Amino acid sequence: MIDDTSAREQVVRAADELFYARGVHAVGMDAVRTAAGVSLKRIYALFASKDDLIVAVLRHRTQVWDAGLASATERATTARERILAIFDFLDSWFRQPDFRGCAFINTNGELGGSSEAVADAVREQKAAFQAYVARLVEELGGPPALAPQLAILAEGAQTTAAIAGTPDAAQHARAAAETLLDAAARLHTVGGSR
């Protein structure tokens, strides 16, 4: 018999794959049990409710997202390069055959209005991403208003790519980000030379 930590991980990974591919409402706990190879009794001992499992899946997705961003930006040497690497990361992700959009946006669309725990988990991930972008903008010396603009470009690209079914949104968002970064640099140079 596997320990609770391993069983929990198996259940979260199985649920993540199922929820992402089919949607949260469409996947019952029996399907999770079958995919994870863990009994329903054990699943409910590990997760008090389906909402608890969904929140655990979202936390797992946060770790995957953070690791992907870190990997995409590790070779960048400047804040500008790290910001643009976000869009390169998105482009690579959008080209994956199993891309179905942002799991956080999808889950919030399904349950955000009826589950405060799910809505909180989604808000937490989105706030953490916005804070990450804000740190890069601060490092860049850009105006604080630039950070939410760049974050919105990334979020919008995810939604657009999922709906359009093509990865083009990442490159369009990257081009818009470059325009915003260039404009901020020009304003900083003009403002600094006065």
Architecture of domain 1-47: Orthogonal Bundle (1.10)
pLDDT number for residue 84: 98
pLDDT band at 79 (very low <50, low <70, confident <90, very high): very high
To 5 degrees, how large is the angle CA 94–CA 169–CA 181? 115
| Of 63, 54, 46, 49, the residue nearest 5 (C-alpha) | 46
pLDDT number for residue 189: 65
| Domain ranges (residues) in the chain | 1-47, 49-192
Share of the chain above pLDDT 90, in %: 93
Please state, rounded to an integer, the average pLDDT across all residues of the chain.
94
d(C-alpha 148, C-alpha 154), whole Å: 10
Q: Which SS3 state, helix, strand or coil, does residue 149 take?
A: helix
Q: Is the distance from CB of 107 to CB of 58 less than 8 angstroms?
A: yes
Residue 151 in tokens: 């974050």
pLDDT number for residue 1: 74
Question: Taking the CA atoms of the chain, what radius of gyration do you get in angstroms?
Answer: 19
pLDDT over threshold 70, residue 191: no
Alpha helical stretches, state H, 4-145: 4-22, 29-36, 40-46, 50-73, 79-94, 103-111, 116-140
pLDDT number for residue 194: 36
Q: For domain 49-192, give the CATH number.
A: 1.10.357.10
Q: Give the H or E element holding residue 48.
A: none
pLDDT over threshold 70, residue 193: no
More confident residue, 2 or 164: 164
pLDDT over threshold 50, residue 190: no
Residue 26 DSSP symbol: T
pLDDT per position as a tens digit, 23-73: 999 999 999 999 999 999 999 999 999 999 999 999 999 999 999 999 999
d(C-alpha 89, C-alpha 96), whole Å: 11
Q: Which SS3 state, helix, strand or coil, does residue 2 take?
A: coil
Mean pLDDT of 180-186: 93
Residue 117 in tokens: 């725990």
pLDDT over threshold 80, residue 188: no
pLDDT per position as a tens digit, 149-180: 999 999 999 999 999 999 999 999 999 999 99
Residues 116-144 as b or e (16 or more Cβ within 10 Å = b): eebeebbeebbeebbebbbebbeebebee
Q: Is the distance from CB of 106 to CB of 121 less than 8 angstroms?
A: no
Q: Is the distance from CB of 13 to CB of 38 less than 8 angstroms?
A: no
Residue 6 in tokens: 């391993």
Q: Taking the complete model, does pTM exceed 0.95, yes or no?
A: no
pLDDT over threshold 70, residue 144: yes
